């Protein structure tokens, strides 16, 4: 069994490969194609390049979202956390595991020119691609920082809002949530989409390192996920959206016999879900300077 650090390095390598992959038109390709020793697709938290039916990604929801940039969408998400994040004009937003910048650019459309969006990612190639995208799009208030979400190189009480899309389940322990708590302002909140489990996955799926990088074998139970959030000190914990993930038979048959596959599919005590979770850091947010009466007379900014 690989150690946590070995698995983290595997994730870094896989996402680095994705960040540097391009199709014939020069557009980044999401997902992970099967390798020569892998008879079926691997997800990398998105659809495999050879299997259009692999529907972990809710990518169709982005098409009409303001700020969506197709060149920044590497098809690595499992939800749309910005939709539920209650981002306001002027907010400081941090996106954990920001990839090529997709959710950052959506958040920027909501926080506006008076706000600030910071993407954090542990893969240098992703940071490079996100910075290139921000420069091309002319977004001066979207910045990208290299770092580990278990040891964020960010000051405490920085963010009004934290978002994350299919990332926290790659490091399912207390440290990442504790760091999220630290960087949020008192009264701030997060909205995160992640993959969670109900019941136990078959051993073959859990042992597969490719699926770990793809957000499935690295996931924990929904109950444990919510417990970690509460233990980090958050309150007002709410599951904002819950969607069952139906893995294709082609993938499951790599690990299950036909009989075991049928049992898995009819079991009501086993399953994989995408959930979007909201939680708050206790306290009261201080008014932004532009929200003071005197400042509003000058700027007319609607940032409260």
pLDDT, one tens digit per residue, over 253-272 is 888 889 988 888 887 677 78
Residue indicated by tokens 């417990």: 227
Asked if the model's pLDDT at residue 36 lies above 90, the reply is no
Q: What is the pLDDT of residue 286?
A: 57
Cα gap 73→57, rounded to integer Å: 11
Query: Residues 216-224: contacts with CB within 8 Å, 24+ apart?
Result: 216/43, 216/247, 216/272, 218/7, 218/169, 218/170, 218/172, 219/169, 219/172, 219/194, 219/195, 219/272, 220/169, 220/172, 220/196, 221/196, 221/197, 222/196, 222/197, 222/198, 222/273, 222/275, 224/172
For residue 84, the number of C-alpha atoms closer than 13 Å in the C-beta half-sphere is 21
Q: Which of 70, 79, 141, 131 is nearest to 109 (CA)?
A: 141
Position 13 confidence tier, pLDDT thresholds 50, 70, 90:
low
Asked if the model's pLDDT at residue 52 lies above 60, the reply is no
User: Can you tell me the mean pLDDT for 179-195?
Assistant: 96
Residue indicated by tokens 């992970």: 32
Asked if the model's pLDDT at residue 285 lies above 90, the reply is no
Asked if the model's pLDDT at residue 297 lies above 70, the reply is no
Encoded tokens for 206: 């859990």
Lowest mean per-residue pLDDT among 89-93, 101-105, 214-218, 237-241 = 214-218
Lowest mean per-residue pLDDT among 168-182, 208-222, 270-284 = 208-222
Position 181 confidence tier, pLDDT thresholds 50, 70, 90:
very high
Query: Residues 201-204: contacts with CB within 8 Å, 24+ apart?
Result: 201/270, 201/272, 202/255, 202/256, 202/260, 202/264, 204/254, 204/255, 204/256
User: Can you tell me the mean pLDDT for 36-43?
Assistant: 34
Q: What is the pLDDT of residue 2?
A: 58
Domains within the chain, CATH numbers bracketed: 4-299 (3.40.50.150)
Cα 295 to Cα 112, 159, 299, 301, distances in angstroms: 18, 21, 6, 8
Q: What is the pLDDT of residue 216?
A: 60
Q: What is the longest distance spanned by two Cα atoms in the chain? A: 71
- Residue 263 makes CB contacts below 8 A (sequence gap 6+) with none
User: 197 or 7: whose pLDDT is higher?
Assistant: 197
Q: What is the pLDDT of residue 49?
A: 36
pLDDT per residue as tens digits for the range 61-110:
777 788 777 776 766 778 899 999 999 999 999 999 998 899 999 999 99
First-last CA distance in the chain: 50
Position 15 confidence tier, pLDDT thresholds 50, 70, 90:
low
User: 222 or 173: whose pLDDT is higher?
Assistant: 222
Encoded tokens for 282: 């206790």
State percent of the chain over pLDDT 90.
40
Q: What is the pLDDT of residue 48?
A: 42
- DSSP string of 145-208, one letter each residue: EE-BTTB-SS-TT-EEEEEEES-GGGS-SHHHHHHHHHHEEEEEEEEEEEEEEES---HHHHH-
pLDDT per residue as tens digits for the range 125-179:
899 999 999 999 999 999 999 999 999 999 999 999 999 998 887 776 789 999 9
CB 100 within 8 A of CB 73: yes
Question: What average pLDDT does the chain have?
Answer: 76
């Amino acid at each position: 069994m690989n150690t946590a650090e070995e698995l983290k390095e595997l994730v870094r390598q896989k996402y680095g490969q994705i960040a540097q992959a391009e199709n014939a038109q020069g557009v980044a390709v999401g997902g992970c194609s099967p390798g020569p020793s892998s008879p079926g697709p691997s997800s990398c938290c998105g659809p495999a390049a050879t299997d259009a039916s692999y529907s972990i990604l809710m990518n169709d929801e982005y098409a009409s979202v303001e700020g969506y940039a197709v060149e920044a969408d590497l098809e690595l998400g499992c939800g749309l956390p910005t939709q539920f994040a209650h981002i306001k004009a002027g907010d400081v937003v941090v996106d954990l595991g920001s990839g090529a910048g997709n959710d950052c650019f959506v958040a920027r459309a909501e926080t506006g020119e008076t706000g600030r969006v910071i993407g954090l990612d542990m893969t240098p190639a992703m940071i490079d691609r996100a910075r290139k995208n921000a420069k091309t799009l002319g977004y001066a208030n979207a910045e990208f920082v290299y770092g580990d979400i278990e040891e964020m190189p960010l000051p405490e009480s920085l963010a009004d809002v934290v978002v994350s899309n299919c990332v926290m389940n790659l490091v399912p322990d207390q440290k990442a949530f504790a760091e999220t708590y630290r960087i949020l302002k008192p009264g701030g909140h997060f909205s995160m989409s992640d993959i969670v489990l109900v019941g136990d996955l078959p051993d073959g799926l859990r042992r597969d390192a490719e699926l770990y990088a793809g957000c499935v074998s690295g996931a924990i139970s929904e109950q444990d996920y919510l417990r970690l959030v509460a233990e980090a000190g958050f309150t007002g914990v709410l599951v904002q959206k819950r969607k069952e993930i139906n893995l294709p038979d082609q993938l499951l048959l790599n690990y299950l016999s036909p009989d075991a596959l049928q049992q898995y599919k009819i079991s009501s005590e086993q399953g994989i879900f995408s959930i979007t979770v909201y939680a708050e850091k206790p306290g009261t947010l201080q008014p932004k300077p532009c929200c003071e009466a005197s400042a509003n007379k000058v700027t007319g900014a609607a940032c409260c």
